Amino acid sequence: MNINHVSIEASRRHVTSITAIDTSYSMSSREGGKTRLDAAKEGACKLLDAHGSEDHMAVLSFGSEVNDVSGGAVELSRANKVALMSRIMNLKPSGQTKFYDTLIAGCQLVLSISANAQLRGHLTDEDMGTFWLIILTDGDDNASESTQADAEKILRLINAELGKEAMKVVFIGVSLDSGTKSK
């Protein structure tokens, strides 16, 4: 993965991103002098650094379990960025790939953030900002309890509740070989 330039553009006031990093054993494969996980961690740190101080970010890791590395979406002060970068760089490979479970966990986090913000009266539909769900992975799901149909269902729910432009989903393939099928 080569992320040389990253630009996060908010279509409204701010950006809240959920970045999910595949930490399955396959990410320990070496290519070009570093592991796929090293490349994903570097990319995630570049994405983090591209956010402004008014933005928020959550970091998930996924192998055989989906883990909230950041403790929810945190405001990206300089100190919080440094702490998140440290947590990202300390991720280690383990287990298989729970891709669909991770996609659903990220979507559930978006719905929770949106509902909590609206309940507190901090945000309205006009200034909610843009949600980004960014998943860095090297392969297909091989361990989720959820299915592709479950993931599609929650994506439709987000579109219905928040609007089609409220959340962008981006999948970044980390050194996918030619035999990997994309869906």
* pLDDT tens column, 134-155: 999 998 899 999 999 999 999 9
User: Would you call 113 helix, strand, or coil by DSSP?
Assistant: helix
Please give the Cα distance from 66 to 14 (Å, whole number).
26
Average pLDDT over residues 69-81: 95
Please give the Cα distance from 21 to 10 (Å, whole number).
22
For the residues of 16-60, what is the DSSP string, one character each?
Answer: EEEEEEE-SGGGG-EETTEEHHHHHHHHHHHHHHHS-TT-EEEEE
pTM of this structure: 0.87
pLDDT at 174: 86
Higher pLDDT, 31 or 177: 31
Average pLDDT over residues 81-94: 97
Q: Is the pLDDT of residue 126 over 50?
A: no
Q: Is the pLDDT of residue 10 over 50?
A: no
C-alpha distance from residue 137 to each of 24, 66, 114 (Å):
9, 13, 26
Q: Is the pLDDT of residue 181 over 50?
A: no
Strands (E), the chain: 15-22, 30-31, 34-35, 56-62, 66-68, 74-75, 130-137, 167-173
Average pLDDT over residues 96-124: 86
36, two tokens: 């796929």
Please give the Cα distance from 48 to 46 (Å, whole number).
5
